[in-house]
Every structure is written in structure tokens, then in C-alpha cells.
Amino acid sequence: MPKLARSEWYDLTRDMNWTLRYVEEDQVWPQVQSNSYGIPTEQWWIWDEPYKITYPEYVHNQVDKDTSVYAVNSILARSAMYENLDPGWKSAILAHYGAIAVPEYMAGIGEARMGRFGRSAAWRNMATYGTLDETRHGQIQTFFPHGLLPEEPRADWAHKAFHTNEWGVIAARSLFDDMFTANDAVSTAIQLTFTFETGFTNLQFLGMAADAMKVGDVDFASLISSIQTDEARHAQQGEPTIKVLIANGQADVAQKLVDHMFWRTWHIFALLTGLSMDYYTPLEHRKHSFKEFMNEMVIKQFVDQFRDFGLEVPWYWESHFLQELDWYHHGLHLGVWGWRPTVWWNPDAGVSPEERDWLEEKYPGWNDTFGKVWDAITANIRAGKPELTLPETFPMVCNMCQIPLVNPAGHLVGKLDSPEPLILDTDGRRRLFCSEPCKWVYEQNPERFAGHLNIIDRFLSGVIQPPTIEGALNYMGLSPAEQGQDATNYAWAFAGQPGSRQAS
């Protein structure tokens, strides 16, 4: 360990900034890797991380964290903990591993880009730790599910998912490529570390760790808590980057970057976390609804931060975002359950009589809207016709968020004037958008997004062969054994039904 106190050498060794003489700035920091937004080099040198740590301290901390969390995993691997977990919770963590594990490695690419192309030495230092963090998160979140393989073969989707064209993976990959894999360093700091991590995942991981403990999944709780402590540190790269932009008259740039990525993140977050919180987590262990979580954690924190920095809430806050809290993830849940063969986990319907009462309490009017759709589904299950609850065609998909168009659900609950998607006809192509913000994100930078084909574009253009449900499932990498089924074999449909038997 150093013989000097940290305060005596930290700033000196951290601030390794210098004036270039032998090369041009654009050669060292090409705009495509590090968009300066016109801010002069020296102005970036005021960048100052709120949380300071040295490399020896970092290594010491990380060794302790890994020792602890792998010890928990090693002990629990010899127990029957996983097989005794609630089926809905198992679905939540299988979905999580597939959607998050490999993207942690991808986030390492974004952190490494900031580690090389960040515009101040202090920032590059922090991002180097971030690169190591994300590598650790990728390793740990592929190692833990690997231990589940004897119990659950689909735990291999922790590694497999991002090597497939499964529709949810296409949506997540589109988001993550936009956010960090194919983003410049300055924009990554604001869109990944400030918007995505500070705004969403840091808080989500706290909530998930608490939920995991309540349902008895000590393994996952330990894992997520360990990751969250890293997130809380490296997420702080966004704040000083925003401060530099604002101090140099570029608040509008920061605002636009946040507006863009907050919306995209919200949609994927609703798909993953909305379903887990309101439908997959066992009723007796739910602390709050997804809407309450969003209001108490994400929204309050974000509004405070926007105002602290002198930014505004995104332009769509009242008109679209707050409106969607009441319906969007309920529509997505119906879609994921209805198209369950297209996902790698077993969706839990989560609509037993007691669960419906809870949903009605948390979302007044749920029974008269979404409940009616579930009534029709339930009737088919009870009548012994589960085949009528399985898909024979596909939903249309948004060309920005890559998520199925559930606009009719928003119309059903009176939040949208029309059930129809927004349409943009350009370049001989028809593109569909679920919402004004998705269309706005596309129109801000069409050349960035125009070449992408969503899963339905691929189906209609002949990429997916044969053009059938089976052909699409094969294209998505889902063998019959991997395709999702109802998590409880339809037990929810018969709950409280005297003399009924469970569907086969």
C-alpha cells in the first residue's frame, strides 16, 4: 500500500492531462468515439468524480466482494434452494439473466471507450474501473446461472440469449447498441451512466435484492447486491459530464441525450421489471406495485436530479411517460404471456383471484379493462382449449423500441386517443412507432436507425424462413424444449373453482 495518505497524491496522479503538440485533437479523440460537442479540450479538465477511489483500494474492495458472493453461491449450490423457489420468481431471474448477463460485457465496451476516449484523465481513470466492473458483472452473471443448469437447462440463455435473434433480445440489443456499444464516450456517460444506471438499474438492483431476500433467493440477492455496489460508483461518471456540458452552454445537448435514452430505457424497463414486479413476484412478497416503485424511486430521484442540474424533465413526461405507467406493462404482460413460446422463460400469468384483487387495488379499473381480456383467456383454459390462448400470427412491432405494438391496450384504458400506431413512410419503407417519443427519437437521427429491420420486417422481407410460427421460433433460437410455457400449468385459472381440475 502507498506510504503517503491518499489525499497527498491522488489529485496529482489522477490529473494526467496535457496539451497536445505532435498530433491534432481529432486524431486522439475522433468525434465518432468522443463527441466534444464543441467544448474546448481544457474545459473538460474540470471533470471531477464525486466518489474517489484508488486502484489498490479498488482491487481490495473487489476481492472482498467476489470472495463473499462466490462463497454464498458455493454453499447454496449444495442446497435445494432453487427448486423450492416460486415458479414466477424463477421466471423473473431467467428473464433477467438472459437479458442482462452478456450486455454487462457489452457495457464493458462502453466503459472501455470512456476509459480511452473520455476527455479528462480523471474520467478515464473512473471508466477503467467501470470496465473492470462490467467484466466482473458479466462473469458473475454467467457463472451463477451455469450452476443452475442441472435444475434448469434454459439457464444457459444467460449466455445464449444475445447470440440469438429472439425478439426481446433484438429489442434489448437495439437499446444497448444505441446506448453504449455504438455510442461515443461523452454521450455514453450521459446515456448509460446517468440515465440508465443512475436513473433505473441502480435503484432496480436495490429493489430486486430486497425482493430476492423476501422470496428466499439468497443466492440472487447476494449477486445483485454485490453488483449494485459497483453500479453506484461507476454510475457517477454522468454527473460531472453533464456539469461540463452545462458549464459550457450545452445544456440542450445534455437534455436531448437524456430525453432520448430515458424513453428507450423506460420501454425495456417496463418489459422486464414491470412484468416481474406486478405479475411474477409471489403476491405475499410484493412490497409495492411497479407503478409505486417507479413513482417512489425512479421518478422522484430523477426529477430531483434534473432540477439540481438545471435540466428539465423530458418533454414527454406528463403527456406520455406518466400516462404509460398505468397501462403499458399490463399490455406487454398480456403479449409476453400470449406469445409465451417466443421467450426463454415460463411467463407467470399472475391473475389468480387474489392477484386480480391486488391489481385492481393498485391499478383501479384493471378488472374492467385488462381483466376482461384475461376473462376470455381464462374461459378458454377452463374449457380445456389452451390452444386458443396460443398465437397463430405475430404482433406488429415498433421500429424504435422493437417492442410489440400494444397501443390498443392504451386505448382500452382511455389513455390513447387511437389504438393505431404512428406511421412514417420514407425511403420506400413504412415504419411503425408505438408512441410519439419513439417516433421523435427516430426522427432526431434517422441515418442511425434507418437500416435496422425489426423482427416483423425480417419476417415480411423473407429473412425468416419458412415464414411461419415454427420458422420464426427457429429463427429466434428457441427449440421446443426452450419455448416458454405457462409457469404454473394454468393453476391460476382454476384457483377458487370448486371441483375443477388443473388443465393438462
Partner 1 sequence: MALFPVQGIFDGDFVVLLVPIDDTDPMSVVAEKVAYHAAGRRVAAQPRPLQVRFQGRVLADTATVTDAGVGPLDVLQVGYR
Separation between Cα atoms, residue 120 and residue 478, nearest integer Å: 45
In whole angstroms, the minimum distance from the beta carbon of 504 to partner 1 comes to 20
In whole angstroms, the minimum distance from the beta carbon of 372 to partner 1 comes to 7
In whole angstroms, the minimum distance from the beta carbon of 250 to partner 1 comes to 39
In whole angstroms, the minimum distance from the beta carbon of 353 to partner 1 comes to 19
Contact 124, 115 (CB under 8 A): yes
Separation between Cα atoms, residue 451 and residue 429, nearest integer Å: 10
- Cβ nearer to partner 1, comparing 136 with 320: 320
- Cβ nearer to partner 1, comparing 158 with 343: 343
In whole angstroms, the minimum distance from the beta carbon of 472 to partner 1 comes to 11
Beta-strand runs (E) in 262-332 = none
- Cβ nearer to partner 1, comparing 364 with 408: 408
- Cβ nearer to partner 1, comparing 304 with 368: 368
Separation between Cα atoms, residue 11 and residue 9, nearest integer Å: 6
Residue 457: CB atoms within 10 A of its CB come to: 17
In whole angstroms, the minimum distance from the beta carbon of 409 to partner 1 comes to 4
- Cβ nearer to partner 1, comparing 60 with 429: 429
Contact 220, 211 (CB under 8 A): no
* Cα–Cα distance list, 282 to 265, 275, 349, 483 (Å): 25, 12, 11, 22
Q: Which residues bind partner 1 (CB under 8 A)?
A: 331, 334-335, 338, 370, 372-373, 375-377, 379-380, 388-389, 391-396, 404-409, 412, 419-421, 423, 430, 432, 456, 459-460
* Cα–Cα distance list, 142 to 27, 41, 139, 409 (Å): 37, 40, 5, 36
Q: Per the omega criterion (within 30 degrees of 0), is the bond before 145 cis?
A: no
- Cβ nearer to partner 1, comparing 11 with 375: 375
- Cβ nearer to partner 1, comparing 19 with 393: 393
* Cα–Cα distance list, 156 to 79, 163, 168, 208 (Å): 20, 11, 16, 21
Separation between Cα atoms, residue 248 and residue 477, nearest integer Å: 48
In whole angstroms, the minimum distance from the beta carbon of 363 to partner 1 comes to 14
